[in-house]
Structure 1
């Protein structure tokens, strides 16, 4: 099983190649990237955000209709949330092998800081690898430097290393990957 990364038109242009290469390296799984063929919905006008669960449902439908057997990560530029949260950086649905991440709050500019493309590549790669880790049946890790540590803030995400700890790496190497389609 490989990783298929769908890059939405609203996601930062020109960062696809370094992001997919880093994610593939972190998880040691072949990956490819292409323009997203998925139309998603779930926009909440009162919040000016998309419901990440609704986006995952759209990805699930796409995956089933196309008989997709690879893990799918959708990278979008729109801000996303999950019920009972203000926002999320990403969300995954392990049962169907789909995940979504948003670049909106990963950009320095969102927080009033100067633009930094290299930092954005690092953040997208870490968050993408984190959500894909859930698709590989990894839970959140207590090791704050592991890619599977739960980033509640941007500082948490920035403090993680771009790698799995030895415990999480061992779990991936021992665990079969199963996806329901």
Structure 2
């Protein structure tokens, strides 16, 4: 009998460990800014998501750029002060999506390729950058080609442009989606 009691207690302890591990893995780890920003975006809290993603993007985190491009489309979250009109919106999207290019992302992948081939972008330069990305060439080579062709500004110029804007605590706001 005592041995059965010990086994039951051990089973309960092990079971509670698995339960607490599962529930803690479902929560966002405090140090995982990408996951935390996704939670904020789902809640419509664009200022909180921006505060997490922008420093990562400035540190050249491609996933942060991809999320910023995707959230520009899905949540209407744009960098403070940008874009001011439809052409500015496309420019901002192009910059974010190119620096964060992810073939697996429909918005920062296929849509970016389509935009690069469109009339909005100087041709044949835009198509050359699209081909570079599609060939699975080194991402930085394609970005350099886009910067040299003046399709997008350098990363440091874009960061400076965005950081010059004064950001209120409630910025950037989520806006109605573009699609």
TM-score (norm: length of structure 2):
0.28
Which structure has the highest strand share of the two?
1
Larger fraction in helix:
2
Structure with more relative contact order (C-alpha pairs < 8 Å, separation 6 or more):
2
Higher Cα Rg, which structure: 2
Q: Using structure 1 for the length normalisation, give the TM-score.
A: 0.28
